[in-house]
Structure 1
Amino acid sequence: MANAQLFHSAKQSATLPAALAHNAEGAPAYALTPRHQLAQYAATGCLNTTFYASADAQLAKVIELCQAVEPAFIAQTAVYCRERGYMKDMPALLVAVLAGQGAVEFAPAFQRVINNGKMLRNFVQIVRSGVIGRKSLGSRPKKLVQAWLNGASEQALLAAAVGNSPSLADVVKMVHPKPGDAWRAAFFAWLIGKPYDAAALPPTLAAFEAYKLDPAQAIPAVPFQMLTALPLNAQAWAQIARQGGWQMVRMNLNTFARHGVYDIAGMPELIAARLCDPAAIASSRVFPYQLMSAYLAAGDKVPRIVHAALEQALEISLANVPRIAGKVVVCPDVSGSMASPVSGFRGSATSNVRCIDVAALVAAAMLRKNPDAMVLPFEHSVVQCALGADDSVMENAARLAAIGGGGTNCSAPLLRMNGRKELADLVIYVSDNESWIDAKRSGATATMGQWNVFKQRNPQAKLVCIDIAPHATTQAMERGDILNIGGFSDDVFRIIAAFAAGQLDPAHWVGEIAAIDIAARGC
């Protein structure tokens, strides 16, 4: 008698839609809808060269997708990626596209997305580059930029004054804001190098000018980059650390070590307490992987108490990782392409965190909240890796990330589970989705075929595919029991929890984005 299981599976797989698109490896895949593609690129793309696409190719693809998607969804995607995905360049680009289109959604999207000086300078840079079809700001964008400048606080303006291409001074010269108060007029004059009324300077800027004349005075609470050209001793750097924002402290731990800050009594403890403050972590909008990056980058001269605080901060930042009812399986991709930087190649500024680190971090975090979860790392096939549910997220993530290498075979974990007749309620993939080892000449992808077999044994099971790279295809087609989602923020975990609980509408992640009211007050 013929193998009933084999031919039964083949018959069932034949009912699945054929994979008519191709991924970056040239292997069969399912094309995401234009809306979904735009969301995927916006939530994961940093407009830098990745393993599979150049920065120029990403930019061209996003501009192309914006022609195929209605302006309202472009605006909703920009708001989602800024407020929930914590992205910077992509939301600014989408708002610039809306400006170029003259869309009515431009103004409310601008007011939600362009929420600090860095975003303002990004927006102006993108428009002036000509990528949206023109190089001038135009009257509406100019008025909104003027309104931002005339409404920003002194601290927001000082923060915005750090950085170039364009600098805040360049922006002021472009739009000629008409300030309504004396301190702002003096600030703008100081900024662009024109004569100003020193008596009208706002207090922090006045303190900065006074400090330059007399360093014996208290260090002003200005961005530390404004002070680095001045001769600063360890005590001065310690004061900078005390005054700095949470993100500034996280990013300058080695700088503090070089300037002797940790040699001052009480400073290691103060910095450690700042780093693991739950309220500061929540308000900082930090990616968990950025804490991993800080932990990995902290040198030997950074005290152990600070290293420990970073590890604790990482655990705190993962508070939104859900505890899922039932059996959970997490499948992190550890193939060779996952060794590329998660935010793309940026020369000397390239992140030391790779896609594989993010995949490992997600898997380790899910294991921490779901101790009975099964973790199946894969490349050509499933790779064995000893993990401990009671171990720290950092420890387990490091073990997973140390595997690395080989081709991508997204169907391997499902094939393994089907061979062993495993039962599960939720299967989560974290991958760049560029499967090619299991490529078929025709029909459904191997992943869909194996999922179909898995569903026969687990009819209520759901599949989540987290893609952490900017792509337009998937190995598992979107449908009621399959969620495709992109990004690195903890909002991904929230959506997974809602999907597992049956609380998402049929449009899944795209539906979440489309439900955003861009006219509402921002987060």
Structure 2
Amino acid sequence: MSKFNRKVRNTDKDNTTWEGSASYVRDPRSELVLLAAVNMVGEQTFYEEAGERDARFTRLVRSVAVEHGEWTTRFVTWLRGEAQMRSASLVAAAEAVHARLAAGLHGGNRALVDAACARADEPGEFLAYWTARHGRALPKPVKRGLGDAVRRLYGERSLLKYDTDAHAFRFGDVLELIHAAPDPAKPWQGALFQHALDRRHGRASGVPEELPVMRARAELSAMPVVERQLMPTQPDGPEVLRGAGMTWEALAGWLQGPMDAAAWEAVLPSMGLMAQLRNLRNFDEAGVSDEAARLVMDRLCDPAEIARSRQFPYRFLSAYRAAPSLRWGHALERALDAATSNVPALPGRTLVLVDASGSMRGSVSGRSKVRHADVGALFGVALAHRGCDVELYGFADRPFRHELTPGGSVLGGIESFCARIGEVGYGTETVASLRATYRGHDRVVIVSDMQAFADWSAAGRRGERNTPVSEAIPAHVPMFGVNTTGYAQASIAPDTPNRYEIGGFSDKLFTMVGLLSGVGERRWPWEAVDVRDGDV
């Protein structure tokens, strides 16, 4: 967890967006939810440095946790589970617990820590963050919460995958610091914990009989290097590798040679969908057969598999762009269709505006090639394909209408939309674009980082007033702002009838289109209802 720091500065000066448009202040919980849903911790954004963004997140968490403890637990549970924001969840839980303990609030902290951990390496990640920020002294709620997570998550395969020298806190370190006892319902876990401690301190002379997967790995590790290249070609090779908990990363190191087609085909059945997505190019370059590739394509075409994988929809767009061959195209299209199945079928006419300005052309994280504008295009095109009567526009200095072929490809529609981004300049003329495109629609959806330029086009009539985005269309028309970045400034007025702002990268973003449509009623993402066939 080496993703934090840098200075903090006040971003609410003059109550405008970064580009000068009139803006609004959200209440702390709304700002926290919106920021958390899009916060790749430690990542630079166009207007906000990584350190100041992280500091704003920390301040919000600490403040809200003291005032709203039970709400914070539900928030962290949703953030790690439904929103799939891993680093943000760990930071939120750690800072929330630290702030609550400092304020003398002791109930519920254990559950907060446990809620942030969904993968076996995360107790160690939590400890790395906590000790860097708050020292090595661990309060009892932290120890107990991590103990709950450890009993739930530690197993043979996770030990083989995550307990490496690359981690500052090995499994044994975590066990010693939190004094975790094994789960009585898992009789093998006592042997696992002891073996993790022995491994950490160089005492392991063998693998206990209670750990068959680790014993199988030890047998493979003892195999002479010259014989290893033959293993993937054996009829039982895939099953032997699976039985030894061999991931593709571990196989690459174990072979001490190239990952050829035979190696990939042997490990393919035991790879997770995310790992398969990230390696489509490697499969093609190694010459993986169409028969073996069919296993991946069948998974991509299975809506249940896509739901279980809980991938952000933009991951399928990223995979589509990275894969050199055309054989994956149809399967990725089916996968994206399943991943965006929560797009509501909106009645009436809908205007969708996707921000294609300069600030939206930055990537969603330092390791991703997917841009915020791509996420906007994905949402806009998916909504247009699902909606009965949707007009889709991109905009920056000016808008452009993007026509979609009925029944056409969503991926193709995204790519054709993105190819036109260069036509419209770099500005964010949101108000002017709304005025140019709104023609009595029943609702408006704006996908943007919400940093609109100031609009003075009506200065003569409004007494030199900077027209807010919220007032660019009639007050009775619902306006949904889909915020891809989560800056402090809000272009759309919060707590105003018919004006809503939501954020996120997961498929739940689509369900959230209808979250706040109840007049006078506040709902949070974890209270969402399914609005796929409802009125918005």
TM over 0.5: yes
Identity %: 24
The residue aligned with 1:228 is 252
How far 1:366 sits from its partner (Å)? 0.4
What whole-Å deviation, never above 9, does each CA across 1:171-202 have from its counterpart, x for those lacking one? 34543544462244224423553224424351
The residue aligned with 1:411 is 431
State yes or no: 1:254 paired with 2:302.
Answer: no
What whole-Å deviation, never above 9, does each CA across 1:198-225 have from its counterpart, x for those lacking one? 2435121111111112344722233332
The residue aligned with 2:524 is 512
How far 1:230 sits from its partner (Å)? 1.7
- Which of 321, 344, 350 does residue 328 from structure 1 map onto? 350
Read off the aligned partner of 2:524 and give its amino acid letter: E
Report 1:460-479 matches (<5 A): 461-478=477-494, 479=496
Partners of 1:403 and 1:435 lie apart in 2 by 20
Read off the aligned partner of 2:137 and give its amino acid letter: S
The residue aligned with 1:143 is 144
| Larger displacement relative to structure 2 (354-363 or 480-489) | 480-489
Report 1:411-450 matches (<5 A): 411-418=431-438, 422-438=439-455, 443=465, 445-450=467-472
Partners of 1:46 and 1:249 lie apart in 2 by 23
- Which of 191, 198, 204 does residue 182 from structure 1 map onto? 191
Give the conservation status (yes or no) of the 8 Å contact 1:465–1:485.
yes
The residue aligned with 2:59 is 64
Partners of 1:514 and 1:392 lie apart in 2 by 31
- Which of 116, 119, 144 does residue 116 from structure 1 map onto? 119
Give the conservation status (yes or no) of the 8 Å contact 1:92–1:114.
yes
| Larger displacement relative to structure 2 (464-473 or 140-149) | 140-149
Give the conservation status (yes or no) of the 8 Å contact 2:346–2:388.
no
Partners of 2:205 and 2:196 lie apart in 1 by 8
| Larger displacement relative to structure 2 (77-86 or 490-499) | 490-499
How far 1:371 sits from its partner (Å)? 4.3
Go from structure 1 to structure 2 and tell me whether the alpha carbon gap of 1:473 and 1:310 turns closer, same or farther (over 3 Å shift): same
Report 1:305-454 matches (<5 A): 305-343=327-365, 346=366, 350-404=367-421, 405-418=425-438, 422-438=439-455, 443=465, 445-451=467-473, 454=474
How far 1:40 sits from its partner (Å)? 1.4
Give the 3-state SS of the residue equivalent to 1:375 in structure 2.
Answer: strand
RMSD, aligned α-carbons: 2.6
The residue aligned with 1:34 is 28
How far 1:134 sits from its partner (Å)? 4.0
Partners of 2:88 and 2:465 lie apart in 1 by 35
Partners of 2:79 and 2:520 lie apart in 1 by 21
Read off the aligned partner of 1:212 and give its amino acid letter: S
What whole-Å deviation, never above 9, does each CA across 1:66-91 have from its counterpart, x for those lacking one? 34322423333222222221111111
Give the 3-state SS of the residue equivalent to 1:181 in structure 2.
Answer: helix
What whole-Å deviation, never above 9, does each CA across 1:25-44 have from its counterpart, x for those lacking one? 34431111111111111111
Give the 3-state SS of the residue equivalent to 1:377 in structure 2.
Answer: strand
Read off the aligned partner of 1:128 and give its amino acid letter: T
The residue aligned with 2:533 is none
Give the 3-state SS of the residue equivalent to 1:485 in structure 2.
Answer: strand
Q: Gaps (5+ residues) in structure 2?
A: 1-12, 183-188, 232-236, 529-536
Give the conservation status (yes or no) of the 8 Å contact 1:274–1:280.
yes
How far 1:273 sits from its partner (Å)? 1.1
Give the 3-state SS of the residue equivalent to 2:319 in structure 1.
Answer: helix
| Larger displacement relative to structure 2 (485-494 or 154-163) | 154-163
The residue aligned with 1:96 is 94
Go from structure 1 to structure 2 and tell me whether the alpha carbon gap of 1:475 and 1:40 turns closer, same or farther (over 3 Å shift): same
Partners of 1:413 and 1:27 lie apart in 2 by 14
Tell me the TM-score normalised to structure 2 length. Answer: 0.81
Go from structure 1 to structure 2 and tell me whether the alpha carbon gap of 1:498 and 1:49 turns closer, same or farther (over 3 Å shift): closer
Report 1:254-293 matches (<5 A): 254-260=281-287, 262-263=288-289, 266-293=291-318
How far 1:445 sits from its partner (Å)? 3.4
Go from structure 1 to structure 2 and tell me whether the alpha carbon gap of 1:285 and 1:44 turns closer, same or farther (over 3 Å shift): same
Give the 3-state SS of the residue equivalent to 2:321 in structure 1.
Answer: helix
How far 1:341 sits from its partner (Å)? 0.6
Give the 3-state SS of the residue equivalent to 1:353 in structure 2.
Answer: coil
Give the conservation status (yes or no) of the 8 Å contact 1:339–1:355.
yes
Partners of 1:188 and 1:147 lie apart in 2 by 18
Give the 3-state SS of the residue equivalent to 1:200 in structure 2.
Answer: coil
How far 1:385 sits from its partner (Å)? 3.0
Give the 3-state SS of the residue equivalent to 1:415 in structure 2.
Answer: helix
Give the 3-state SS of the residue equivalent to 1:331 in structure 2.
Answer: strand
Give the 3-state SS of the residue equivalent to 2:472 in structure 1.
Answer: helix
Read off the aligned partner of 1:289 and give its amino acid letter: Y
| Larger displacement relative to structure 2 (328-337 or 218-227) | 218-227
Partners of 1:174 and 1:105 lie apart in 2 by 21
| Larger displacement relative to structure 2 (279-288 or 382-391) | 382-391
State yes or no: 1:494 paired with 2:511.
Answer: yes
Partners of 2:285 and 2:222 lie apart in 1 by 26
Partners of 1:229 and 1:245 lie apart in 2 by 18
Partners of 2:77 and 2:246 lie apart in 1 by 29
Give the conservation status (yes or no) of the 8 Å contact 1:322–1:369.
yes
| Larger displacement relative to structure 2 (101-110 or 36-45) | 101-110
Read off the aligned partner of 1:290 and give its amino acid letter: R
Give the 3-state SS of the residue equivalent to 2:23 in structure 1.
Answer: strand
What whole-Å deviation, never above 9, does each CA across 1:465-496 have from its counterpart, x for those lacking one? 01000211211202121111111112121121
The higher relative CO (CA closer than 8 Å, separation ≥ 6) is in 1
Partners of 2:172 and 2:20 lie apart in 1 by 47
Give the 3-state SS of the residue equivalent to 1:230 in structure 2.
Answer: helix
Read off the aligned partner of 1:397 and give its amino acid letter: I
Give the conservation status (yes or no) of the 8 Å contact 2:16–2:22.
yes
Partners of 2:152 and 2:58 lie apart in 1 by 31
What whole-Å deviation, never above 9, does each CA across 1:269-312 have from its counterpart, x for those lacking one? 122112222111101111110111111111x2xx4322321122
